[in-house]
Chain A
Amino acid sequence: MDKKQIELLQGTLDMLILKAVSLGPLHGYGVLLRIQQISKDRLEIQQGSLYPALYRLEHQGWIASEWGESENKRKAKYYRLTAAGKRKFQTEAEKWNRMADVIAGILQSTPEEV
């Protein structure tokens, strides 16, 4: 494992999953690969915690699942974003961006500005 990986911030995994499946239906392992791919392997994701998050999101109705066939012709459970999930993802993403801006603004501030 790359030592430069950073640990996921609390509560951000849900958002990343929503982003991952917003690009098209994915099975659990696919979600993991997609996130790693987008993040260019800079995030450390506990594989074991991925599934509880998927189940929770499905339970809340943000994503839906159905069984389908994987690339190598095996049965796999595919998740896709629901309409409610889409709205949820948009508000969450907006919130996150605003938060990131504010935090970044604070961290970049110089003594003169304060």
Chain B
Amino acid sequence: MRTLSRIQSWMRAVMGRSRMEREMDAELHFHIEAFAEDLARNGVPRPEALRRARIEFGAVERAKEECREARGISLFDGLTQDFQYAVRTLRKNPGFTATAVLTLALGIALNATMFSMVSAFLLRRPPGQEPSRAVVISGINPTQGFQSDLSGVSAPNYLAWRQANHVFVEIAAADEYRTVSLTAQGTDRSGQGTSIGRPEALRASAVSSNYFRVFGVSPQIGRTFADGEGLAGHDHVVILSHELWERRFGSEASVIGGTIRLNRENYTVIGVMPANFRLMGFVPQLWMPLVLRAADQTEAARKERSLNLYARLKPGVTLEQARAEMVTLAQRAEESFPETEKGWGVGVRTLPEYLVQNFSVRGGLAVMMTAVGFVLLIACANVAALLLARAAGRRKELAIRISLGAGRLRVVRQLLTEGLVVALLGGGGGLLASYWGINLVRANMNFNEYVSAVPISLDWNVVFFALAISVASAALCGLVPALSASRTDVNTNLKEESRALSAGRSHSRLRTVMVTGEIALALFLLVGTGLLIRRLSVLHNQNLGFVPDHLLTAGVTLDSAQYKDASQQAAFVRNAMIQLRQIPDAEAVAATSDLPATGPGKVTFLIKGQPELPANQRLSALDFVITPEFFRAAGIPLLRGREFTERDNGTGTRAVLVNQEFVHRYLQGQEPIGKQIRLDVSGATPEWSEIVGVVGNTKSFSGSTREEGQVFEAMLQRPISSFALMIRAASDPEGLVGAMRNAVRQVDAELPLVQVMSMHAVIKRQDGGDAIFEALLASFALLALILAAIGIYGLVAYSVGQRTHEIGIRMALGAEKPHVLRMVLRDGLKMTAIGAAMGLVMALPLPRVFEAVLYFGGENIQEPALYFIVPIAMTVVTMLATYIPARRAMKVDPVVALRYE
């Protein structure tokens, strides 16, 4: 009740401000009048009575101020007053204001721009209802490797777990990386339907019929899969992505119920998903039913871990309970099928967590945000130093205000408000600049379709973040000068003439500390960036072990309608090679399961004569399936033995080649030729193969220096349905694109090629993020250096200005100019030395930190030279920044200086 009356009175006071002022005036006026009248009645003459009444009453303004305070409006009042005052002082110093605002705007723009990536990758909610109740079940591969804990799950496990678990409403399965061909024809209503156009390869996801139900999403038009449509014979239905619907079918609603030709078979379109249904960067262009046949339930099918499982937790079930249940089920599978399941675990993650891990952007973003955060800190230190310098110049003003009765708190608040105004202006400017920055980042984040699919934009998260860091900057910038100014001793400051040599010593000490900190941070950033850039340049310039120049590549997926068995697949490969070889500029042509340095899958194997080990302890090597000319096409040298020939086909004895690392690692340098090994190839009966040749090493992955053992199988002996074509060209490889498409059309007119591009383009697609990462980090570090240099310049220039009088005296007393120069330079050097030492100590553990955060896979990025080069470069820059004001000090004319002020 009383609180209410207080709030009411406060509201009245604040809202009805002018009315209250009027009433207060009237009331006090009435008092004085009435008092004067009483005096007059006692015989005092009227004018004298009024005068006496006023004197008796005392200071009217102070009474009013106290009345306002009693109403609690002076806080609000003070704030507006502070604000107006801050704006006024800032407008009076446009140079100072512009510098401070621009510095902060720069720092805030960088942070907002980088944060747009954080927002896009980490903060967006996945589609569907309650995405945090949706989970992803992944296999955990006992063989350690990149994202080995995000492995797929086999069909038999899916079916078993779906039956046995008590924690999920449903489990859906998706085989997300299928390629299908779409041939335009018949009922395609885009207008081009009548002629058979170029077949297009599409990314398709084969999903169980409950898939969309698990996410809780509805189609934009049409329907999702019905339960019976996961059965063979009923499965020729398809759901289109919004993108495909728009591009190929002109967003026509009439597409529903129509037929499209996929993999040479007719499918009925039953639905279109909305544009926002995407799992971060993973966007299939269409969804088909996942059909699980009898063959998918055999023990052999347990090796085919190609399904991603999505599930929804039952109400009340926690993630931990779900995990525990799945671990039990995985153990049961391990006990029942030790041959295939030994060592394999299972993990359960919420959908958002899974997507972030799968995209593995967190480490990179953390590094970026740290870098821009430091740049902002440095910017804040510069602005704080500016405010501090100005506060030093305003000591007298503040002293007068304090002596006139302004509370210290009031003065602190005043200075903080100034900081806040500067920071908010900087934040606004920064946000505007980040709009441009975000566009720039988005324009560059398109090196592959997964990254392009994640929309980076200036969203509300970014706006709130910019606002938050503006306020934080205001506190950082404003607090230091405010506190130091409020400690002002009124007496000394009012007495202290500007001649005093000790002027502002404590202020400059604080600034020295801040500039030293800036140097430390800048050095830390430079060393960190240097380490990363050095690593990337090593990777960029490394010898991959093959020749990527003049190499044209394309992907092919043979559909099961036309290519039902291995012999048909082998026939396609043989015919395609014949056609490709006809191309005039083709020096060598090949097909391969994986292009070199693109991270192929691993295969476990046994060397004849060695004891048979359980599945999870077997040796493993990277597995390639190739045609005879592969090594010539790729430019990989044959070191011993022979390459494959046309005779290494289905009827010949199985032959393999291995690389040098394989011989070194697994054969301990014994004679490799003639050794027998047995590969655990999925779906095939184990057979012994003979090593017939040894080739040079190639890197496992272009973004890494790793070299591993490799095994090469002959594609004619083990045909596969999905592979890449390679042409070594005598000329520009891009010029052969048309010829390559033609050659494949000669063999099969309805088979599309995917990602027809040069090998360099393939590598760029793979490592494209690195170049952006590198460029961004380098610019951040450079900016940090420039800001730190400006900081030290500002400090030295200011202190030279302050010490003009002192320098004048020194010179009048006979100090030589070089001596004065040395004196000033020494101050700068001292700060640089201390700052650099601190920065170096901070930077020492960086290689280990990067290793942990960015998953380099055990690569060494020690670069001791950096720890010398960077501090030296830093010293040169700061010395330059010191030298300019120092030279000014040297030019001081003693006569002028002594008259100074």
A binds B: yes
Query: Using a CB–CB distance below 8 Å, which chain A residues touch chain B?
Result: 27-29, 32, 46-49, 51-53, 55-56, 58-61, 67, 70, 72, 74-77, 84
Contact partner of B2 among A53, A56, A60, CB < 8 A?
A60
Q: Which residues of A contact B10 (CB under 8 A)?
A: 59
Contact partner of A59 among B35, B66, B70, CB < 8 A?
B70
Interface contact B30-A70, CB-CB below 8 Å:
yes
What is the CA–CA distance of A32 and B9 in the complex, to the nearest angstrom?
A: 24
Interface contact B27-A28, CB-CB below 8 Å:
yes
Q: Which of B53-61, B183-191, B633-641 forms part of the interface with chain A?
A: B53-61
Q: Which residues of A contact B62 (CB under 8 A)?
A: 48
Interface contact A51-B28, CB-CB below 8 Å:
yes
Query: Using a CB–CB distance below 8 Å, which chain B residues touch chain A?
Result: 1-2, 5-6, 9-10, 23-24, 26-28, 30-31, 33-35, 37, 56-60, 62-63, 66-67, 69-72
A6 to chain B, nearest CB (A): 18
Interface contact A29-B69, CB-CB below 8 Å:
no
B51 to chain A, nearest CB (A): 15
Given A70-B34, A74-B30: A48 and B2 within 8 A (CB)?
Answer: no
Interface contact B34-A51, CB-CB below 8 Å:
no
Residue among B1, B10, B26 with max Cβ neighbours from chain A (10 Å): B26
B376 to chain A, nearest CB (A): 43
What is the CA–CA distance of A61 and B60 in the complex, to the nearest angstrom?
A: 24
Interface contact A48-B27, CB-CB below 8 Å:
no
Given contacts A59-B71, A61-B9, A75-B26, 17 further A-B contacts (CB under 8 A): A28-B31, A29-B34, A47-B57, A47-B58, A48-B58, A51-B24, A52-B63, A55-B66, A58-B9, A59-B5, A59-B72, A70-B34, A72-B34, A74-B33, A74-B34, A76-B30, A77-B27
B811 to chain A, nearest CB (A): 58
B463 to chain A, nearest CB (A): 38
What is the CA–CA distance of A76 and B69 in the complex, to the nearest angstrom?
A: 22
Q: Which residues of B contact A84 (CB under 8 A)?
A: 1-2
Interface contact B70-A52, CB-CB below 8 Å:
yes
Q: Which residues of B contact A55 (CB under 8 A)?
A: 66-67, 70-71
Interface contact A47-B30, CB-CB below 8 Å:
no
What is the CA–CA distance of A75 and B33 in the complex, to the nearest angstrom?
A: 12
9 A–B contacts from the bound complex (CB under 8 Å): A27-B30, A29-B34, A47-B58, A53-B70, A59-B71, A59-B72, A60-B5, A61-B9, A74-B33
Which A residue sits closest to B2, measured CB to CB?
A61
B347 to chain A, nearest CB (A): 62
What is the CA–CA distance of A72 and B38 in the complex, to the nearest angstrom?
A: 12
Interface contact B34-A47, CB-CB below 8 Å:
no
Q: Which residues of A contact B57 (CB under 8 A)?
A: 47-48
Q: Which residues of B contact A46 (CB under 8 A)?
A: 58
Which A residue sits closest to B66, measured CB to CB?
A52
B466 to chain A, nearest CB (A): 39
B59 to chain A, nearest CB (A): 6
Interface contact A51-B2, CB-CB below 8 Å:
no
Interface contact A47-B56, CB-CB below 8 Å:
yes
Which 5 A-B residue pairs are closest in the complex by CB-CB distance? Answer: A48-B58, A52-B66, A61-B5, A55-B70, A56-B70
Which A residue sits closest to B30, measured CB to CB?
A76
Q: Which residues of A contact B72 (CB under 8 A)?
A: 59
Q: Which residues of A contact B66 (CB under 8 A)?
A: 48-49, 51-52, 55
What is the CA–CA distance of A56 and B56 in the complex, to the nearest angstrom?
A: 22
What is the CA–CA distance of A52 and B1 in the complex, to the nearest angstrom?
A: 22
Contact partner of B6 among A27, A47, A52, A60, CB < 8 A?
A60
Q: Which residues of A contact B70 (CB under 8 A)?
A: 52-53, 55-56, 59
Contact partner of B67 among A52, A75, A76, CB < 8 A?
A52
What is the CA–CA distance of A29 and B10 in the complex, to the nearest angstrom?
A: 24
A25 to chain B, nearest CB (A): 14
Which A residue sits closest to B31, measured CB to CB?
A29
Interface contact A51-B30, CB-CB below 8 Å:
no
A29 to chain B, nearest CB (A): 4
Residue among B9, B10, B60 with max Cβ neighbours from chain A (10 Å): B9
Which B residue sits closest to A46, measured CB to CB?
B58
Interface contact B6-A51, CB-CB below 8 Å:
no
B34 to chain A, nearest CB (A): 4
Given A28-B27, A59-B72, A77-B23: A51 and B63 within 8 A (CB)?
Answer: yes
What is the CA–CA distance of A55 and B71 in the complex, to the nearest angstrom?
A: 7
What is the CA–CA distance of A76 and B62 in the complex, to the nearest angstrom?
A: 21
Contact partner of B27 among A51, A52, A56, CB < 8 A?
A51
Q: Which residues of B contact A53 (CB under 8 A)?
A: 70
Interface contact B58-A72, CB-CB below 8 Å:
no
Q: Which residues of B contact A70 (CB under 8 A)?
A: 30, 34
What is the CA–CA distance of A12 and B533 in the complex, to the nearest angstrom?
A: 75
Interface contact A61-B31, CB-CB below 8 Å:
no
What is the CA–CA distance of A58 and B68 in the complex, to the nearest angstrom?
A: 12
A36 to chain B, nearest CB (A): 11
Given A52-B69, A56-B70: A47 and B31 within 8 A (CB)?
Answer: yes
Q: Which residues of A contact B56 (CB under 8 A)?
A: 47
Q: Which residues of A contact B28 (CB under 8 A)?
A: 28, 51
A88 to chain B, nearest CB (A): 10
Q: Which residues of B contact A67 (CB under 8 A)?
A: 23
